[in-house]
Structure 1
Amino acid sequence: MKPYTYDIYNYIEWQVILNQTLQLTKNKHAEIQHIDIFDKANKEEIKNIEIQIGMSLPISYKNVVQQFSKRVHFYWAVSEENALNINNRLISSGSFLDGPLWDVDQLIMLNEMRRDNEGLDEDQALDHWKYSFIFSRHGNGNYFAIDLKYHPGEVIYLASDGMMHGLRLGESFESFMDNWIRIGCAGHWGEDFELFSDDYVYLDHTSLNSLLCKKWLGLIYFS
């Protein structure tokens, strides 16, 4: 496994951007808005979860939940007529309506679901399930995970139907969230993430489409 790179991330700025995004989407006549940022996870909580799921939490994920928040639920949505059109694809929402960006209290349930899908690894087009750590889900059978084998530490997209399965979204959990939060967590489908990536490798908040999204939202003051 490659060594973890200890980059510095400004978690307080994440909170500022998330709150600012909700304020800005009011200008787009947002139909739904929601944000909850909980307290940090303590060492005992982390230890108990690691015992129950049978693995250590990835370092980048652990940094966030121990130093920032153990659960962040964030969502916004506007009507299609007020949505951003990029390459004939409408961006009308951000993050997940039915679930949080991350939540340590869901890890046991999520990774039981991962084990339920391990059999899909027998199809090479649907590998990654067995050697991954799921941290969030759509509710439509697709999940967000941290790769533990093929590109260790990277955030990947897991899809039971094969669409966008294995899409590489970020070098680490912190890197992925930093880039996604800086565009207001816009979109949430695999195809949306491709829009905001350069050369389809990692979400990038400085890509052309990401800059268009930040301008549309009004997040131009955040680099």
Structure 2
Amino acid sequence: MDFELIRNRIDAIASRIKAIGGEVQEVIIDEPASLEQIIKVEEQLGVKLPASFKKVLIEFSGNFSLRWFLPDNMEQPNEFREIFCGTPHWGLELLPQFEEDRIGWIENVFPNPEDDYDVVWHNKLAFCEVGNGDYLAFDMNNDDDASIVYLSHDDGAGHGYKISNNFLEFIDDWSRIAFVGCEDWQWLPFTTNPESGIAGNGEAAKRFRDWLELDI
């Protein structure tokens, strides 16, 4: 993957949001993580991080965050009416806390691996906190790399959706839709079914970029 392209997309997104009168609260692209830092966190977690996630941490950034918001008075097309912000983030040092929180949900709310809803929370690795009790997580059933799924704590429409096949594919597709908010209702318009993943180059994504006049 061309990480310089991802940086250029981030710059283009931030510039466009500002140009239309929106707010960009934060753009953080920290230095890449070292292999030693990754090994330390893996030992703390007791699992190996997915291969594509490690590649991004080592070659792009160990801690990334972008926070943007559309203008309050901006009128959106009906299919994108639920989109109001972009809040992508990940951080190597955040993983233990997110995992502790996910395990807490399992122990207190979703303990039954035989239950169709509960089991979605099991055998995952949370890497992004949505902010409402939900998480983006790696499906650790895969041996080397991992697909990305949505964990909803409250019957969200995207619960259990496969968002992407791996982390590299994920940030490519997510950046193509301006890193819209982590809540499922913001990225669901860019999927077609629970297994499709976000289609960053699909027709809905193209319409979204055209509406936002975002050339990425």
Q: Same fold (TM over 0.5)?
A: yes
Matches within 5 A, 1:206-221: 206-220=201-215
Identity across the alignment (%): 24
Structure 1 gap ranges (5+) = 1-8
Number of aligned residues? 209
Deviates more, 1:145-154 or 1:11-20: 145-154
Please say if residues 82 and 185 of structure 2, whose CA atoms lie closer than 8 Å, have aligned partners that are also in contact.
Answer: no
Give the deviation of 1:141 after TM superposition: 0.2
Please say if residues 29 and 78 of structure 1, whose CA atoms lie closer than 8 Å, have aligned partners that are also in contact.
Answer: yes
Counterpart of 1:102?
90
Please say if residues 80 and 90 of structure 1, whose CA atoms lie closer than 8 Å, have aligned partners that are also in contact.
Answer: no
Matches within 5 A, 1:21-40: 21-40=13-32
Letter in 1 for 2:150: Y
Change (3 A) 1:33 1:217: farther
1:171 to 165, 168, 180: 165
Counterpart of 1:114?
102
Structure 2 gap ranges (5+) = none
Counterpart of 2:152?
159
Change (3 A) 1:44 1:150: closer
Give the deviation of 1:150 after TM superposition: 7.6
1:47 to 26, 31, 39: 39
Change (3 A) 1:84 1:33: farther
Deviates more, 1:197-206 or 1:157-166: 197-206
Give the deviation of 1:84 after TM superposition: 2.7
Please say if residues 176 and 201 of structure 2, whose CA atoms lie closer than 8 Å, have aligned partners that are also in contact.
Answer: no
Counterpart of 1:4?
none
Please say if residues 80 and 189 of structure 2, whose CA atoms lie closer than 8 Å, have aligned partners that are also in contact.
Answer: no
Give the deviation of 1:90 after TM superposition: 3.3
The two structures, once aligned, show a CA RMSD in angstroms of 1.9
SS of match in other structure, 1:84 = coil
Q: Distance in 1 between matches of 2:78 and 2:25?
A: 22
Runs of 4+ in 1 over 6 A off after TM superposition: none
Q: Does 1:205 align with 2:203?
A: no
Counterpart of 2:185?
191
Q: Distance in 2 between matches of 1:86 and 1:179?
A: 22
Change (3 A) 1:90 1:129: closer
Change (3 A) 1:65 1:133: same
Letter in 2 for 1:129: W
Please say if residues 146 and 166 of structure 2, whose CA atoms lie closer than 8 Å, have aligned partners that are also in contact.
Answer: yes
